Structure formats: C-alpha cells, structure tokens
C-alpha cells in the first residue's frame, strides 16, 4: 500500500507540474520567473485580451529568422487619439542575452493596465499619454538564449550570417555544450606550466600564479570543439551585428565600430522597428532597457557630437537624478564620458532624429549578490571584471541564497583535442541576470522610474490672461501657454537643429483681423517681439516648468479662436469674445 501511495503521489505531482508548465498565461502577469519569447508574445496577447479598450497590438515586422516582433500600445481613446498625446516609448532586450530587460517592459505594461481605474496616479497617466512598448527587440536572440546553450554573455547580436574566420563558411563553429547541461561553461586542464593555481580560499576558483610559482591549471576558454577542422575552437559562431550599433545616426563602419553591420538599418527587424517609431512622431520620452551595471545613461554617445542644449540637460538631470532615488545604487551617467563611446546608437537616433529624451537603463547590479552583513564593506561593482574576493562572495550567494543553481562545479570530460579536461563555472542564467527571487524588485523599481518620467511629459494649458480694448473695435489680447511638467513641448535640440517644425499658436475668427502679434519679452514694460508676416501664426516652444506669453492686436467683433498644436504635446483650443 505504501508503494502504491508513493507512486500515486508522484504521478499527481508530475501531472500538476506538467499542467503548470503548459498553463495559459493570464493577467496579472507573474514576475517570479523569466518568459521565453513565445511566452512574451502570449503575455502581450493576454494583456490585450484583458484590456481591449485600452490596448492595441501591432505586428511591427519580422526578424532575420522570420520571428514576429510585437508592440503593445496603451492608450485611452476616450481621452484622445494616441497620436494626439505625448508618446512614451519603452523597449528592451535589444541584445539577445539581456532577457530581464524584456521583463521590465512586460511589468510596466502589466502595472499600467491592471491598476488603471484603481490607482489614481496610474489612471491619470494612462489618460494623459500614449505608451508604445516593444519588450523584445532582438526576438531571435531571446529565443536562442533560452533554446540553446550559452554563456551569460553570448548570443547578443542579430542572426546575420558572417564568415568570422574567412574560410568561406558561415557560422560553422559555435561553442558546443559538451556535457549537455544547457549552458556553455569554461574548460580547464591540469598543467604544471599553466598560469593559474587553485584558489586556497575556494577550490572552485583559480588565481594567477606569481612569478616563480608552479602552475596548476591552463584555462582553455568556453566549451567547444573544432567543428570545421581548422585548428581553432569557437571562432565562427552566429553572425554578429550589434543591434545597438546599427541605427541611422552617427553610424560608423565595422572598422570603427565593431558590430556596426554593412550599413545603417541592415538589421531586418531593426528597420521594421525604425518604421514603427517614425510613424509615431509624438514620442518624446524613451527608455531602452539593457541588462548590466546599474546605470541610467543619457547621450551623447560620442564626444564629437558636443553636449546637449542646456535646456535639455536640465530635463535629463531632473529625470536622471530622480531615477537614482527610485532605484538605489543606480548611477545617472553620460554615455561617452562616463562609460565609452558608441556609434550608430539607438539613444542617439531617438534624441537627434525623433526628438525625444532617451535613457538607457543598464539593469542588474552583480554587487547585489551579497553574502555579508549590512555594514560590511565589499568590492565596488565594475563592468570590466571583478576580483576573486568578489567572486568568492558571489559563490557564497550562489550556495546560500540561490541554492547552488548559478554555478556548475568542475567535472572531468574527455576532450577530442585537449584530452582530459574539466568543465565548470557560471551558467548562462547567472552573472548578468538576477536570480528570479530578485526579479520582482528589479522590474518594479525600473518601471517606477519610467512612470515618474511619464508624469513629466509636457502638459500645456492655454489661457487668455488679458483682454483690453484700446480703440474702436481694436483689442489687445494676451495669451499664455503654461507647462508645469519637466519636459518642454519640443526639445531644445530640435529647436536649434530644426529636426521638425516648431509648435504653432494660431489665432482666427470670422469677423476679426490680426493686425500684429508676437512673443512678450518683458510683461512689465510691454516689450513684444512682433512677427512681421502672418502674425496670426506664431512658432513657439513651451518650456518645462514654465510659460510663454504672446500678445495680439486684433480688430473686429465676435469670437476669437485660439489653438495650440504640437507634435509632442498635443493640441488644445480656447476662445475669447471681442
């Protein structure tokens, strides 16, 4: 009976587990695990099905491997068409291995929709803005990161075939999962002349030998064999075009910028996403999420571009410094100055061509993988490697908090070229990715940074502040455009560079004539910069946390209509009776 009971219990467990794995994704979404790309698409469709009045699901295009790229629009049509409102664009996973970036986009969409009508702040923001979300840019990369064996850092680029080793073959020598565990780990071989010895503090690690010391190990690199028989291992994996170096602003060829591709927008999916973005000229706020370092980066991405206009810097500073408070430990930085220069960068394209304010969110902080007291000092985080002290602490984190799931102990293997070796090290879901128990906090805080910025899109109000009759049927009318949010109605860069037309303030009426009109320079001395031609149309920009006043001299009687039109800030109207 006991055996029958145990078998029945095991059967029930397997049945429940299997049904859970195949269970249809429902809303609200869960963020205690990572979604495969197919599940990301299913999650977007589930959100759309649950909130059909607030969402629109668009097929943006297809990738190099013919996978579909989906975008979700969140907009309340009862408060206006999406293109008539400030646009907030959020994407992630532009690099294939940066999967938690996609989770931020999903969480943001889930938060905005499930709390609409319940949370006053969320409801107000959904009513105010239009939101465009592409959680996964590099859809092939995300698919292969889950489906194939990888290191934490491989499978980043677009799948465009390339002959890396110039042997006439394309993508024929990938790393190989020799031990079949689903990850590409490291290979090492015992060697008395090697450059490494066993770390006495933790036998899983190695330290460099000092001059005169006897070696113990040679590190052979990532798992793999010589697939093409050319005497080299792992030298020709997937064709590499970096999807964050292939955009059509300040692009440079491959000999200047590795991963640039043959020409801007040579990436099939990237070109489709570009077309999707350009069809939405109302986009003014952009967050592009990547995966590592704990940073909010703004442009420019190269020093040669010069600094942004001071008005735009004030906006970036306000948003960036508040983001630092929302996500403790993250740093607000300038890309070229505080990190490194890049060409053909997505952020530069959005800032300079689309006319937006763009932040790149580098998400996970490896330093958060801790095993120490709160007041105990540890190694500072670096994107360019870490000390053995830091690695030892991460191993303790792995052992005691991740239950050993992130690191594979060294195991012997018979290699066809190297002979007796050992395979071990960090698995693909480590190092750049938070363990799932840490995911909820990461996605919530970063989505909160987007929500804060979304609250600072331009919100222009129009009012008539003065109407004075100065002669028979002759009136002086003063109009104020006021914006109590951080972002102006058009970026200062766009004003200077004339990327697209400035905002328009128009005055009209059936029985009136605008004799003169212009911007008020000094309201106390009545100093006005009059426009010499067509004074009924004024080109303008409404600053963040500020206002602009215009004065019109108008002849006639009846209703004077006033309208303000902005690509980014929408359209508002008013009137005054003369």
* Helix or strand run (H / E) with residue 269: helix 268-278
Q: Are 260 and 242 in contact (CB under 8 A)?
A: yes
Q: Are 204 and 217 in contact (CB under 8 A)?
A: no
57-113, pLDDT tens digit by residue?
Answer: 999 999 999 999 999 999 999 999 999 999 999 999 999 999 999 999 999 999 999
CATH topology of domain 2-145+241-366+435-454: Aminopeptidase (3.40.630)
Query: What pLDDT score does 450 carry?
Result: 98
Give dist(CA 144, CA 67) in Å, integer: 12
Q: Which residue has the tokens 């222009």?
A: 460
Query: What is the DSSP code string of 2-35?
Result: HHHHHHHHHHHHHHHHHHHHHPPP-SSPP-SSPP
Give dist(CA 205, CA 197) in Å, integer: 9
Peptide bond preceding 60 in cis form (omega within 30 of 0): no
User: With respect to CATH, is domain 460-577 assigned 2.60.40.10?
Assistant: yes
Identify the band that residue 238 occupies on the pLDDT scale cut at 50, 70 and 90. confident
Query: What pLDDT score does 242 carry?
Result: 95
139-161, pLDDT tens digit by residue?
Answer: 999 999 999 999 999 999 999 88
Helices (H), 25-69: 37-50
pTM confidence score = 0.93
Torsion of CA 298, 301, 304, 307, to 10 degrees: 0
Structure tokens belonging to residue 450: 């987007």
On the 0-12 / 13-18 / 19+ scale of CB atoms within 10 A, 173 is buried
Query: What pLDDT score does 22 carry?
Result: 58
3-state secondary structure of 159: strand
339-359, pLDDT tens digit by residue?
Answer: 999 999 999 999 999 999 999
β 527-530/217-222 pair status:
unpaired
Tell me the domain boundaries of the chain: 2-145+241-366+435-454, 179-238+385-431, 460-577
């Amino acid at each position: 009976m006991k055996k029958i009971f145990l078998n029945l219990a095991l059967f029930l467990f397997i049945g429940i587990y299997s049904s859970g794995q195949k269970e249809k994704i429902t809303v609200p979404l869960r963020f205690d695990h990572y979604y495969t790309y197919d599940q990301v698409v299913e999650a977007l469709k589930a959100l759309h099905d649950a909130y059909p009045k607030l969402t629109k699901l668009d097929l943006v295009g297809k990738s190099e491997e013919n996978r579909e790229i989906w975008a979700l629009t969140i907009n309340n049509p009862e408060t206006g068409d999406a293109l008539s409102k400030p646009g907030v664009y959020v994407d992630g996973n532009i690099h294939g291995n940066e999967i938690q970036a996609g989770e931020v986009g999903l969480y943001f969409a889930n938060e905005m929709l499930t709390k609409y009508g319940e949370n006053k702040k969320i409801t107000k923001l959904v009513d105010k803005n239009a939101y465009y979300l592409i959680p996964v840019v590099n859809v092939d990369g995300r698919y292969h990161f889950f489906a194939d064996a990888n290191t934490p850092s491989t499978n980043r680029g677009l799948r465009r075939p390339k002959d890396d080793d110039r042997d006439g073959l394309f993508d024929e020598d990938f790393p190989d999962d020799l031990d079949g565990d689903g990850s590409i780990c490291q290979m090492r071989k015992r060697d008395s002349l090697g450059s490494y010895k066993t770390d006495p503090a933790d036998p899983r690690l190695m330290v460099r030998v000092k001059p005169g010391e006897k070696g113990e190990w040679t590190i052979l690199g990532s798992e793999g064999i010589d697939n093409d028989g050319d005497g080299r291992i792992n030298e020709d994996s997937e064709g590499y075009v970096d999807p964050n170096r292939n955009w059509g602003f300040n692009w440079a060829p491959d000999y200047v910028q590795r991963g640039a591709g043959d020409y801007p927008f040579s990436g099939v999916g990237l070109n489709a996403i570009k077309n999707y973005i350009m069809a939405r000229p109302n986009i003014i706020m952009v967050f592009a999420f990547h995966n590592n370092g704990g940073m909010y980066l703004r442009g420019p991405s190269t020093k040669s571009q010069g600094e942004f206009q001071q008005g735009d810097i004030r906006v970036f500073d306000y948003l960036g410094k508040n983001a630092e408070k929302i996500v403790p430990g993250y740093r607000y930085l300038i890309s070229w100055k505080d990190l490194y220069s890049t060409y053909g960068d997505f952020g530069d394209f959005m800032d300079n061509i689309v006319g937006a304010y763009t932040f790149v969110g580098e998400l996970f902080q490896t330093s958060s993988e801790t095993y120490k007291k709160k007041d105990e000092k540890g190694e500072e985080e670096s994107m360019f490697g870490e000390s053995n002290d830091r690695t030892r602490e991460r191993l303790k984190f792995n052992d005691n908090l991740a239950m050993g799931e992130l690191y594979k102990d060294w195991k012997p293997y018979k290699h066809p070229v190297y002979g007796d070796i050992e395979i071990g090290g960090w698995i693909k879901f480590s190092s750049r990715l938070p363990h799932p128990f840490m995911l909820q906090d990461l996605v919530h805080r970063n989505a909160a940074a987007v929500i804060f910025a979304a609250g600072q899109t331009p919100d222009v109000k129009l009012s008539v502040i003065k109407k004075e009759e100065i002669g028979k049927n002759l009136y002086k009318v003063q109009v104020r455009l006021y914006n109590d949010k951080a972002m102006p109605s058009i970026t200062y860069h766009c004003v200077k560079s004339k990327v697209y037309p400035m905002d328009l303030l128009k005055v009209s009426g059936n029985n009136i004539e605008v004799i003169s009109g212009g911007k008020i320079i000094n309201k106390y001395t009545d100093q006005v910069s009059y426009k010499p031609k067509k004074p009924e149309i004024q080109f303008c920009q409404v600053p963040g946390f500020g206002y602009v006043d215009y004065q019109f001299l108008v002849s006639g009687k009846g209703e004077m209509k006033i309208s303000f039109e902005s690509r980014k800030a929408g359209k508002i109207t008013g009137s005054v009776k003369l």
